[in-house]
Structure 1
Amino acid sequence: MWGIIGTWEMALQGIKKSSSLLENGNTADIAIIEAIKDVEDNPNFTSVGYGGLPNENGEVELDAAFMDGNNLSFGAVAGIKNFNNPITIAKALSKDRFNIFLVGKGAESYAEKNGFEKKNMLTLKSKEAWEKRIKDIKEKNLSPYDGHDTVGMVCLDKYGNITAGTSTSGLFMKKEGRVGDSPMPGSGLYVDSKIGGATATGLGEDIMKGCISYEAVRLMEEGYTPQEAVNIITEKFNKKLIDRRGTAGAFSIVCMNKEGKWGVGTNVEFPFVVSTELEGTKVYVANFKDNKIVYKPLI
């Protein structure tokens, strides 16, 4: 049994490609990297990779993480500029014993020394969006912050290997050096091949207030189904944020266990993509209504 689940509709083409890889016997680490690279390479997806929306200075800073559920190896980069496919850099770091999470200039130095592709990740489209937002902030007194749709995936192969990965350009107009939950183990992603994996997307500043990806895996280990696990997390975490802070930022979580069963939790309208050996590839949209998660096919 193989399966792969990803956040947002932008994951569709990458998941289709990786489903073929999984069906043909490729492993979860290869399949998830190819799926995430597909999103990173598409400039139409302005919250990930090439064409990602810039920070307050007009620079594209990227975050990415990779985790291998077999040995719990983890690698991540944050605030990296001018390098293509940060997910591949994160995966390379996961093979090391030390220095597995690098940021800013340190991440860029590592990438250059190890031959990763240098590239200006700012497109004309994202530059124009930045210029418009600067103008709107001054003229319309609008909030600068918008756009934080991380691509996150969990992947299971025929051999029982499970991996998780994330990639994002983060919050549009963020402060230079700002990092959200996406590359943070436990918050943005977590995976254990003996149990399952999970990954989150949404407002990183709120998601980091709870280790919801780790919590999903912990609950699955206790015997909850993936959907039961995210139901518990969504209701409790949303309530906790509102009780303690008066508001809860947008957050969503997807997970898959070692049997290929999956679940999704969200406190907003949230499209996601799932593909399994038995179900094929489908896009759903989920909503949080009356403290329950409901979803229906989108495509």
Structure 2
Amino acid sequence: MSDRRDFIKKAALGTIGISSVLSCNTASTAIIPTVQPTKKAVKPLIISTWNHGLPANDETWKQLKNGKSAIDAIEAGMRIPEADPKVRSVGYGGFPDREGKVTLDACIMDHNSDCGAVSFLQGIKHPISVAKNVMQNTPHVMLSGDGALQFALSEGFKEENLLTAEAEEDWKKWMEESKYKPVINMENHDTISMLVIDKDGNISGGCTTSGAAWKMHGRVGDSPIIGAGLFLDNEVGGAASTGLGEAVIRTAGSAMVVELMRQGKSPLEACKEIVERIYNKHKNHRDMEYLQVGFIAINKNGEHAGYSLRSGFNYALTDEAEGSRMEDATFKMSWEEWKIN
């Protein structure tokens, strides 16, 4: 399991973050794929990104076992990192934008392809819950900015200050130079994305994030965008992303992973092909120096996988047989190999 502090020491890329996928894992690309081929669907099964996926998975599992729907369980699980000020990239305590304001993005999607999302939401601790209300209580898919806030207030959510003293101090230090670069740093930004197969074999998912640290005010990443940060087709499977959101948006990343699974590829094969596609399309792009993306995916057979461009991406996995644990994703190249190339 990757160590966040090791990543900072080895990457040495400072505290300026973007939607990233990485703590530095020095293993080679020969790492054994963490995919579970099965004949029958593993159900229930939960997969989510990063270490803070563990407490989120545990709460989601608890809710499923108590008879809650997958959507309600996902909401309950993702509210855990949203409310944790130690998770500096999700919800309360997340790093602010360059104006010192915490802005949040989230989406949720069920097995019927109903979905809801919020983007550029301020002052509401639990954007995943607002996204669920958008799905269930409006004719729309996404609400943004002040409109999303007004909707949340009308639904009974409480407006509050999400900028913690620690995050504000870090922002003031950044302001001393005010130099923004999309530097990969999982301490700064690691979206939580989650996919669930419930006891009936139905697939649902969600994403929530405070976005890239020190981003321009108004910036929205891939996390709230159905088809980019999250996508599922209950006949096929589901996928979700973490990493440089702009790169995922440009390639409709999660939707493409699901489409490849529809064509018969395994979750690992599908994630790998889309990561390769993103890499090839960005070879001469200004973001290439800092480019990192990763995907998690599951299919209806219960196979799961995680794959990233560079090393260091891991994900939380929960099922009946083994409980909750962390899995290291396969990757195209290590950070050392990246530097050499």
Residues 1:267 and 2:318 aligned together:
no
Counterpart CA distance in 1 for 2:92 and 2:147 is: 20
Which residue among 216, 223, 235 is the counterpart of 1:175?
216
The reply to whether residue 19 of structure 1 matches residue 96 of structure 2 is no
Residue in 2 that maps onto 1:151: 192
Q: Deviations over 1:240-288 (max 9, x none)?
A: 2215668261111101112322111101221211112333211022352
- Report the Cα distance in structure 1 between the residues aligned to 2:124 and 2:151, rounded to whole angstroms: 11
Counterpart contact for 1:144–1:172, Cα < 8 Å: no
Corresponding residue number in structure 2 for 1:296: none
Letter in 2 for 1:283: M
Change in CA separation of 1:245 and 1:85 when aligned onto 2, cut-off 3 Å? same
Per-residue Cα deviation, 1:145-172 (whole angstroms, up to 9, x for no partner): 6633111111110012211111111111
Kept in 2: contact 1:68–1:192 (CA 8 A): no
In the alignment, structure 2 segments of 5+ residues that lack a partner are: 1-42, 335-341
Q: Secondary structure at the match of 1:91?
A: helix
- Where relative contact order (Cα < 8 A, 6+ residues apart) is larger, the structure is 2
Secondary structure at the counterpart of residue 186 of structure 1: coil
Match of 1:64 in 2: 106
State the one-letter code of the partner of 2:110. D
Counterpart for residue 83 of structure 2: 41
Bigger mean CA deviation after superposition, 17-26 or 80-89 = 17-26
**Which of 252, 257, 268 matches 2:299?**
257
- Alignment counterpart, residue 3 of structure 1, candidates 45, 57, 73: 45
RMSD: 2.0
Q: Deviations along 1:162-187, whole A, 9 cap, x unmatched?
A: 11111111111111111011111111
Question: 1: CA distance between counterparts of 2:127 and 2:66?
Answer: 26
Q: 2:97 aligns with which of 32, 47, 55?
A: 55
Find out whether 1:28 has 2:67 as its counterpart.
no
Query: What is the DSSP-based 3-state SS (H/G/I as helix, E as strand, rest coil) of the residue aligned with 1:178?
Result: coil
Q: Which runs of 5+ in 1 are unaligned?
A: 292-299
* Structure 2 CA distance for partners of 1:150 and 1:246, relative to 1, 3 Å: closer
Partner of 1:297: none
Matches within 5 A, 1:191-202: 191-202=232-243
Distance 1:287 1:63 in 2: 27
TM-score scaled by structure 2?
0.79
User: Of the candidates 84, 91, 96, which is equivalent to residue 132 of structure 2?
Assistant: 91
Q: Judge conservation of contact 2:267–2:305 (CA < 8 Å) in 1.
A: yes
Matched residues, number: 287
Shift of residue 144, structure 1, vs aligned partner: 7.7
Counterpart residue identity of residue 218, structure 1: E
Equivalent in 248, 255, 266 of residue 214 of structure 1: 255
